[in-house]
């Protein structure tokens, strides 16, 4: 029922749904994406809720033209060359995020980099144009399931969670985009995908290093992003904050406290809390408080990913 043919009138309606903060599944040349406005934190939080992802990985942001990419990130040097060669197409570039980009902190998991890609599928490009927004879009499947290559797969996994599924037939590649970070003299492969390492080397004359191989490289691409870690000491599940600490609160009843307080959601809404989490960590870290105390946050729904992020912020660090 949520599936509609990807004709113009439906793409325009889908664009309006995106602007209103909704989720729309759409075809790309790689796999179907679960799209939301990358500038609305709560819309991005709904992506994680719908997928049932236990973690906040940074998401790929999809753009329709180079001016839009330039407004979001610093696309210069070899990265621009790669974009000119492979966009629109299945290459995602991890780039320095531009100040004032308007992107939600959740879409980049609090990082100062953002992964951008310009998809080649006309329906994807049409949806971005119709919404006039950059689209955050991971694959449109439940966490742990395989990526969908047709609209029926999406409906089976997420049919009750999306406002609309635009049916554009089977996807061409059936394999996600290649994710790279451009370094000074080489290209770091963060996720192998539809564009091969040989194609990247052929286009640039530079070697491709695989971040996934050897030594103590992290096992999952999501972990490669050096996650935003606050300078302040973080304590979780705190009911009585110490004087001088900053406090991340949740819900309507907040303990009396002298230091800076940031309530993630006074009404106790986990979607709102997820949207505000990285911004709150950053703000309170910058307040100069030596420590950040975090009130207990329920672990159902998005609470699982929120608590995962907080646990890692609170874990002792070696460096
Ligand atoms: O083919 C695709 O790329 C599909 C279709 C829908 O376009 N999208 C997709 O998006 O797979 P997503 O959000 O699931 O991809 C996330 C990948 C992860 O490997 C993540 O670690 C990496 O991109 N990534 C995103 N932002 C990053 C960043 N700032 N730094 C490092 N890696 C990043
Ligand atoms: Mg996926």
Q: What is the pLDDT along the chain (319 residues), one digit of tens a residue?
A: 599 999 999 999 999 999 999 999 999 999 999 999 999 999 999 999 999 999 999 999 999 999 999 999 999 999 999 999 999 999 999 999 999 999 999 999 999 999 999 999 999 999 999 999 999 999 999 999 999 999 999 999 999 999 999 999 999 999 999 999 999 889 999 999 999 999 999 999 999 998 854 434 444 444 444 466 788 999 999 999 999 999 999 999 999 998 999 999 999 999 999 999 999 999 999 999 999 999 999 999 999 999 999 999 998 765 4
Residue 18 tokens, joined: 């995106």
How far is ligand 2, taken at its centre, from the CA of residue 138, in Å? 6
**Is-above-0.85 flag for pTM?**
yes
Taking the C-alpha atoms of residue 40 and residue 20, their distance in angstroms, rounded to an integer, is 9
Residue nearest to atom 18 of ligand 1 (CA): 222
Tell me the ligand closest to 193's alpha carbon. 1
H or E element in which residue 209 lies: strand 208-210
Q: Specify the residue with its C-alpha closest to ligand 1, atom 1.
A: 176
- Residue the block writes with tokens 């906040």: 56
User: Scanning the structure block, which residue is given the tokens 């492979």?
Assistant: 86
What strand order describes the sheet that includes 291-294? 233-235, 291-294, 246-249, 261-263
Distance CA 202, CA 288 (A): 48
197 contacts 205 by C-beta, under 8 angstroms: no
DSSP 275: H
Distance 173 CA to ligand 2 centre (A): 14
Edge-first strand order for the sheet with 24-26 is 3-5, 164-167, 24-26, 33-37, 135-136, 60-62, 113-117, 91-96, 178-182, 187-191, 208-210
Q: What is the dihedral of CA 155, 160, 166, 167, to 10 degrees?
A: 20
Contact between 24 and 127 (Cβ < 8 Å):
yes
As given in the structure block, the two tokens for residue 298 are: 């329920």
Q: Say how many Å lie between the CA of residue 48 and the centre of ligand 2.
A: 12
């Amino acid at each position: 029922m949520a599936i509609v043919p990807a004709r113009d009138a439906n793409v325009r309606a889908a664009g309006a749904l995106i602007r209103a903060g909704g989720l729309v599944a759409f075809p790309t040349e790689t796999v179907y994406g679960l799209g939301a406005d990358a500038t609305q934190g709560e819309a991005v939080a709904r992506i994680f809720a719908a997928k049932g992802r236990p973690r906040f990985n940074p998401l790929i942001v999809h753009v329709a033209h180079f001016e839009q990419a330039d407004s979001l990130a610093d696309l210069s040097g070899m990265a621009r060359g790669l974009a000119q060669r492979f966009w629109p197409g299945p290459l995602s570039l991890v780039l320095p995020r531009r100040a004032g980009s308007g992107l939600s902190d959740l879409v980049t998991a609090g990082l100062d980099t953002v992964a951008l890609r310009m998809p080649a599928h006309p329906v994807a490009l049409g949806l971005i144009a119709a919404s006039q927004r950059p689209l955050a879009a991971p694959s449109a499947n439940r966490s742990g399931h395989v990526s969908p290559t047709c609209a029926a797969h999406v409906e089976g996994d997420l049919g009750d969670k999306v406002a609309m599924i635009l049916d554009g037939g089977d996807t061409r590649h059936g394999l996600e985009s290649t994710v790279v970070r451009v370094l000074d003299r080489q290209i770091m492969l963060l996720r192998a995908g539809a564009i091969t390492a040989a194609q990247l080397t052929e286009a640039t004359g530079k070697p491709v290093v695989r971040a996934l191989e050897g030594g103590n490289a992290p096992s999952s691409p999501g972990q490669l992003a050096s996650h935003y870690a606050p300078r302040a000491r973080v304590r979780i599940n705190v009911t009585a904050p110490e004087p001088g600490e900053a406090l991340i609160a949740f819900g309507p009843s907040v303990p009396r406290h002298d230091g800076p307080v940031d309530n993630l959601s006074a009404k106790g809404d986990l979607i709102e809390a997820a949207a505000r989490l990285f911004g709150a960590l950053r703000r309170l870290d910058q307040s100069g408080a030596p420590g950040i105390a975090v009130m207990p946050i329920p672990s159902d729904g998005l609470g699982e990913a929120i608590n995962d992020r907080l646990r890692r912020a609170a874990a002792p660090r070696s460096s």
